[in-house]
Structure formats: structure tokens, C-alpha cells
Amino acid sequence: MLRLGLRLDRRLELLGALSYTARDLARRARKRHASLQKTQLMVLTPDFATRPVISFQHVWKRYETGTEALRDINLVVPDGDFMFLVGPSGAGKSTMVRLLIREEKPTKGKIFVDGVELGRMKRRQLPFYRRRIGLVFQDFKLLPNLTVYENVAFALRVHGEPDALIKTRVAEAVDTVGLAGKEQTYPANLSGGEQQRVAIARALVHAPKMIIADEPTGNLDPATAWEIMQLFLRINARGATVVMATHNREIVDLLRRRVVAIDAGQIARDDRSGRYHDDASKSQVRAR
């Protein structure tokens, strides 16, 4: 009984140490908000004079139905850029993403990524190419029967990486997205935001130079979407180029990064510090 009483006293002591007042929580919230503001500013300024990481050269995409998804696209993305692709549904944003990951080929024109022309890439080279880029999608694309750790480690295991390297890389990626301690959790037991964090960790585990994201906040509430965007900003600040197709006007307007607007398969606007919709009231600096 004495031992049981001591255990109970110890548990109560620990609970008391872990309790917070309303003032404590408010102070922590202010500190976290300040940290998010600081993160927003930690974005590299790309040098457009350097060799581009991505280059679209007179790219057309016409489907067998006769639909022209893209028409004469010319676009340069320098190292360290953070670029939003915006525009209405069907404008051609997702087509550009599919071309970038070599899921499709252009009908005419050339696309270079890090100096390599994608159209000439052999099928056997595709897995190695996709290992060099991080892919993040709206629907997460997690394997439901695998834990967080196993989802992030999956691609490394497929390519035969040693267990020691896998353990180190996964731990780093999971910690980066703020999910340390949830490695053995299954996707069904995670929130939507947490599932997207797993998807981002999976994209980061190869330490890619470029992240391609297609509507990564489309299934998330505004607060969670902003938290996910902070992750992308930190990834960009570490040196990765980020290309993101999105319909999220609030985030685009708030961050004021490079905005490339696609309309009817053509580039309608390319602003280095833009909004979701064109701001006709001020002179825009066009990215050329």
C-alpha cells in the first residue's frame, strides 16, 4: 500500500509539472506565431542569371481528342525559386506537372530539368530521375497498410538502400515535418494535415534538389494548409527549388512569391512577386 501511495503521489507530481495556465498557453501561441512569421521570410532569392533548373522551350501538348492543353510554353525556373502555378481548372497546370515528372511527353518542344532533356530520357532512367525530385500530391498517396516509418522508407527500400542509411534518412525526414514519435502510426490514425506531412517526409527522404507539388493543400482546412506551407518554405530555405500548382488564393496572396498564371494552355502572366489574380493597380515586375 505504501508503494502504491508513493506511485500515486509521483504521478500527481508529474501531472502538476505538465499542467499549463491560460497565460502559459497564450505565451506559447505568441511565440509560435512569431516563429511562423520568421519562417515566412526564410526564402532564397533565386538568381535568374544562373543556369535554370527547369526550362520549357516552345512546349505544346495536344491530346488524341484534339484538345490543346498547352500552347507554346516558354518558362525558366532558376535554382532556389519558389514558384506558384495558378489558373482555373483545365488551364494546363496539372499537364505541366505531369510533363515535369515525365508521366507524359510534350507533343512539340523540349523540357530540360537540371540540364537533361526529359523527352530523350529512356524508360529505364525514369526511376532514377524521379528519385532526384520530391513529389507531393493533393490526395497524399500513402500506403494504408504501412506505418509512417514504412511509408517514408518505402522508396529507399525499393532501391535497395542499406538499413542504416534508411533509418537515418527516415528519422531526419520525419523530424523535419514534425512527426517524431509517430513513426509506428498508421495513416488512418492521422489527421489530414499529418498525412500530408508524411507525404512531404516521403518526398524529402531522398534529399531532392526540387519539390513538385500538385494542390498539396487542396484537402486541408485553412489553418492546416498554412502549417503545410510553412514546411514548404523551410524546404525552400534549405536550398530546394519548389514548383507548386495551387488554387489557394489566400496563401498565394499572402506569400507573394513568384506566380505563373496559366490560362487556356498559355502563360498569361509571370510575376516575381505576385498575387493569385493580376494586380492592375501597380506595375508588376515580370520574370523573364
| Single-letter code of the amino acid located at 257 | R
**Confidence check: pLDDT of 115 > 70:** yes
Share of the chain above pLDDT 70, in %: 79
Q: In the Cβ-directed half-sphere of 105, how many Cα atoms lie within 13 Å?
A: 10
**Confidence check: pLDDT of 11 > 80:** no
Together in a domain, 54 and 28: no
Mean pLDDT of 233-262: 94
- Which residue range is the domain that position 21 belongs to? 2-38
Which of 14-28, 96-110, 136-150 comes out lowest in average pLDDT?
A: 14-28
Together in a domain, 159 and 133: yes
Q: What's the pTM value of the predicted model, to 2 decimals?
A: 0.78
Would you state the cell numbers that stand for residue 32, as one nine-digit string?
Answer: 509560435
Does residue 198 sit in helix, strand or coil? helix
Instruction: With CA atoms as reference, report the closest residue to 176 among 248, 245, 228.
Output: 228
- The residue with cell 530555405 is 237
* The predicted structure's pLDDT at residue 95: 95
* Strand 82-86 to 258-263 pairing: parallel
Together in a domain, 33 and 92: no
In a domain, 276, yes or no: no
- The residue with cell 519562417 is 39
Q: How remote is the C-alpha of 67 from its chain's centroid?
A: 29
Together in a domain, 32 and 141: no
How would residue 35 be classed by pLDDT, with cut points 50, 70 and 90?
very low
* Strands annotated E in 167-257: 210-214, 241-245
Q: Order of strands, edge to edge, in the sheet holding 266-271?
A: 133-137, 210-214, 241-245, 82-86, 258-263, 266-271
Q: Order of strands, edge to edge, in the sheet holding 108-113?
A: 68-77, 54-62, 108-113, 116-117
* The predicted structure's pLDDT at residue 45: 61
Q: How many domains does the chain have?
A: 2
Which CATH number characterizes residue 52's domain?
Answer: 3.40.50.300
> In sequence order, what are the beta bridge partners of 61?
70
- The pLDDT tens digits of the residues spanning 154-196 come to 988 988 889 999 999 999 999 999 999 999 999 999 999 999 9
**Confidence check: pLDDT of 144 > 70:** yes
